[in-house]
Structures are given as C-alpha cells and as structure tokens.
Structure 1
Amino acid sequence: MPLLEISIVPVGTDSPSFSTQVTDEVRVIEEKDLKYELTPTSTVLEGDIDDLWEAAKQMHQKALEVSPERIVTNINIDHRTDKQMDIDQQIEKVEKHLG
C-alpha cells in the first residue's frame, strides 16, 4: 500500500503551538478509517492512493478553518509497485537492522 507523509504548518496564528490543529487533522484521518502513525513533525498515512489524496486535501482544508494567514503543507508519497509494503513492515525492517 502507498504511504503518504504529511506535515501541515499554519503560519500567522495567535499561537506558536499547533497541537490542537494536529488533533483536528488526525480526526479527519480516523473518520476515513485510514491507518496512520504520528511523528513529532508529521503524520504518515497508509491506504489506497485515492483515499490518501482525499485525506490530505481534507486535512489541508481543515487547517484553513483556524484562519491562518498562510499554510505550508508538505506531502511525500512512497508508492512501491514491485511489492506490497506497509507502515509496520517499514519500521520492522529498520528495527531488525538495528538489532
């Protein structure tokens, strides 16, 4: 399954913190019933590519609801076509190499 990493940063709000914003965006992911993994600076989603694009779009639109002056959204997609992969598998491979 494809993986999509997304980071949404609202700029020009009343606070330098955006944990509430991240919480609202994670709710979008949960409503779509997509598997996800939070990191300190981004969120990784797993699923059908069309569902991932739609979730990213809705997350970006959700960020607009707090009326920031600007939003910076970064998206990375890892989409293997030669074999299946998933979030857990990617993490397990690295942990295996670490010993």
Structure 2
Amino acid sequence: MSFLVEFAMFPTDKGESVSPYVARIIKMIDESGVPYKLTPMGTVFETETMDEALEILKKAYQQLEPDCNRVYSVVKFDIRKGKSNRLKQKIESVEKKLGKEVSK
C-alpha cells in the first residue's frame, strides 16, 4: 500500500523567513529514511501505512513545538492499495506521456 503525503508546516510567529524551522523538519524526515521530495511549497513523502504517515507529521510538529507559539500546516493524502514507489512512478508516468526520457 502507498500513502503519498504532501504537506507544509511552518511557524507563523517567526517573521518572514521560516527556512530554519522548515530545515528542522526536513532533517528529521531525511534521518527517518522515508522517501521524500522537498518542493518550494511543501514536502511530499511516501509511507506504507497510515500510522507511519501520521507519525512523520507528529514528529514534524514536535520539531517546532518547543519554540513556536503558532504553527500552520496543510496536509493532503493520496492512498492507493497494491502500489508502492509512487513518489517516483507518478512523475515517470507523466514524463513518458510527454515523450520525455525517464531519469533513473
């Protein structure tokens, strides 16, 4: 099973630039071993279970909780049975349809 999760999470009480806070979250995801992709507007990661996905989100919040008084987050799930590695395969599928050579 594949749980693709796209989310953004950041403090709203730390001024205009929040990249140091986002970096905390990305470091945690990277160290977790979960496949992910950072984008300019958020992060996408993939797990095999809902519990794993929710645990990553919980740990993301825990990176901000100690020194952030207000945290904004938006989360989207794409859950599909019988599939895996969709973080890469979904992009490859579109690139093939565009006639692009798929990167390995």
Deviation at 1:24? 0.7
Runs of 4+ in 1 over 4 A off after TM superposition: none
TM-score, normalisation: structure 2: 0.82
Name 1:5's counterpart in structure 2.
6
Between the two proteins, the alignment pairs up a number of residues equal to 96
Name 1:27's counterpart in structure 2.
27
TM-score, normalisation: structure 1: 0.86
Matched, 1:56 2:57: yes
Deviation at 1:9? 2.6
1:55 aligned partner, one-letter code: I
Which structure 2 segments of 5+ residues have no match? Answer: 100-104
Alpha-carbon separation, structure 2, partners of 1:3 and 1:42: 13
The percentage of aligned residue pairs carrying the same residue is: 31
Provide the alpha-carbon RMSD of the alignment: 1.4
